[in-house]
Amino acid sequence: MNFKKIYDEYKSYFEIELKKSTDTFIGTEENLISAMKYSLLAGGKRFRPVLMLMVSDVLGVNRQTILPFAIALEYIHTYSLIHDDLPSMDNDDLRRGKPTNHVVYGEDMAILAGDALLNKAYEIVFRNVGSVYSINASRILSTFAGMNGMVGGQAYDIKNTSYPQTIETLQKIHENKTGKLITASVVIPSCFAGDEHFLELKEYGEKLGLLFQITDDLLDFTSSTEEMGKNVNKDFNANKLTYVTLLGEKKALEFAETTLNDALIAIKNIKNNEVLVELAKYVINRKN
Amino acid sequence: MNFKKIYDEYKSYFEIELKKSTDTFIGTEENLISAMKYSLLAGGKRFRPVLMLMVSDVLGVNRQTILPFAIALEYIHTYSLIHDDLPSMDNDDLRRGKPTNHVVYGEDMAILAGDALLNKAYEIVFRNVGSVYSINASRILSTFAGMNGMVGGQAYDIKNTSYPQTIETLQKIHENKTGKLITASVVIPSCFAGDEHFLELKEYGEKLGLLFQITDDLLDFTSSTEEMGKNVNKDFNANKLTYVTLLGEKKALEFAETTLNDALIAIKNIKNNEVLVELAKYVINRKN
């Protein structure tokens, strides 16, 4: 299996659909549209939608059914990056090899572009909701994106110095901040397959999210700004709580291996799971 | 009819339900919960939910059906105020007689509190969606809140100096920024009444939104900071595009009268419309 090729095929398919979805951005302030498209169409790994489409294919869920959710999820992920990069948040000026949204459009327009993407994500879902399946999927999406999911994790992250600097605090941040949207990508397709393998996929999603974060911290430590398309060593230099600052590089690598193993055990009884096995290995071996 | 008393009864009913809705804010970062509740429960006129409940009663829509939408709408309105008050937006430090969210919780937490309220609004809707009626109502809510509604209006507002300083520009800003959520409050109940009087109510909502904005501009010019609970004369002093700076006080007052009249004409064929007539008059006569 040439997994890289398979990943890129999924990604290309999604990129085309994502681009199409922005064709409906009309009838409003031009700078707002421009700011929204700038971050949405800036490339990136498209990890969450690719994951969602792969799980859908494994479970035999129709692509047209799942696509609005994959697009909505990428809108939500993108809004969170725009807001995360703001001067009062992480204050980052580089993302995916390009200046961040507020550097180009100003802080005020960047806040609004994020807000507009979040509203639009739900608008897309509402335009495609109807079945009990889709309503369940929508509830998961909004819950995992909000205060008890991604936003909650962001809040823990900015307040993390108020908590003990332990692995438990770090887990709490990332099982929400990174983990919940990755888990949503995996369980939403299950909603459309009558909750088939729901719990196993949830476990896989959680472990994959954790793995994603550990490797992110490792890459921040070992990689270059050019390779990553964003400023690196920033977390390490800021003495921020990361898996590398907390465990050291060697133990962080070992933790990544254990987590990969846990992810693979979770899906061992799912038929045609090869692509999901390869995806987890891809996460641990990724270079950016 | 003692309209003030009726208004306050609706408001008290809503305040209790709004407060109840925040009891489910658990299991996440305490500062985030605190920041969300701070702005949600800071009082205010509750104009949009009161309006929505009044229209529901006129059309005979069940209160329990409409309540999740009224709550979601107030969450959306509140998130927009938090983001609007940020230093990079309007930079306001006073709202409803209290320090603004970012003054108390910091800019980063204020951004996240706004994001969390927006996600939560849609989560509430998804937990109560099911019928075709509710799906239509949800589509209207997300569309009117987003890039082609309120957020679009905010974008026009921050870019307004790029446009000709005319009444058309001003209308475009406010028919979106203020008007769309007020119109949503009026047409969403109609969705649950088989679209009864949809177009008439839409027209009423649009005129009421316009009236609300003209009177807001007049109050900013004539009222005191104590009466308004927010800084006044700011727009006027900043030479911002408002109905008063553009038309002068006398013509702005006349425009308010004409707009009130248009609103009343729109609903003249709706049975039991008395409360909506009084509400429009209340808007033009309000002191804060």
Walk along chain B (288 residues) and give the pLDDT tens digit of each residue: 799 999 999 999 999 999 999 999 999 999 999 999 999 999 999 999 999 999 999 999 999 999 999 999 999 999 999 999 999 999 999 998 999 999 999 999 999 999 999 999 999 999 998 889 999 999 999 999 999 999 999 999 999 988 999 999 999 999 999 999 999 999 999 999 999 999 999 999 999 999 999 999 999 888 766 666 777 666 655 668 899 999 999 999 999 999 999 999 999 999 999 999 999 999 999 887
Residue A236 has pLDDT above 80, yes or no: no
Evaluate whether B115 touches B80 at the Cβ level (below 8 Å): no
Question: Does the distance separating the beta carbons of B126 and A139 come in below 8 Å?
Answer: yes
Q: Which candidate from B88, B127, B142 shows the least CB-CB separation from A119?
A: B142
Which residues of chain B have a CB within 8 Å of the CB of A28?
A: 147-148, 152, 155-156, 176
Q: d(Cα B70, Cα A288) in Å, to the nearest integer?
A: 44
Q: Min CA distance, A29 vs chain B (Å)?
A: 6
Q: How far is CA B65 from CA A184, B44, B203, in A?
A: 28, 24, 23
Q: Min CA distance, A273 vs chain B (Å)?
A: 31
Q: Which candidate from A29, A123, A148 shows the least CB-CB separation from B156?
A: A29
Evaluate whether B256 touches B208 at the Cβ level (below 8 Å): no
Q: d(Cα A17, Cα B79) in Å, to the nearest integer?
A: 30
CATH architecture of A3-285: Orthogonal Bundle (1.10)
**Could you write out the DSSP letters of every residue in A10-65?**
HHHHHHHHHHHHGGG--SS-HHHHHHHHHHHTS----HHHHHHHHHHHHHT--HHH
Q: d(Cα B67, Cα B56) in Å, to the nearest integer?
A: 10
Question: Does the distance separating the beta carbons of A152 and B28 come in below 8 Å?
Answer: yes
Q: d(Cα B112, Cα B119) in Å, to the nearest integer?
A: 10
Q: Which residues contact residue A168 at a Cβ distance below 8 angstroms, ignoring those fewer than 6 apart?
A: none
Evaluate whether B107 touches A91 at the Cβ level (below 8 Å): no
Question: Does the distance separating the beta carbons of A25 and B159 come in below 8 Å?
Answer: no
Report DSSP state, residue A205: H
Q: d(Cα A151, Cα A17) in Å, to the nearest integer?
A: 26
Q: Which residues contact residue B251 at a Cβ distance below 8 angstroms, ignoring those fewer than 6 apart?
A: none
Q: d(Cα A201, Cα A185) in Å, to the nearest integer?
A: 10
Domain range summary for chain A, segments of one domain joined by +: 3-285
Count of CB pairs separated by less than 8 Å, A with B: 151
pLDDT at B230: 73
Q: d(Cα B46, Cα A118) in Å, to the nearest integer?
A: 24
List pLDDT tens digits, range A104-149. 999 999 999 999 999 999 999 999 988 899 999 999 999 999 999 9
Q: Which residues contact residue A10 at a Cβ distance below 8 angstroms, ignoring those fewer than 6 apart?
A: A50, A53, A54
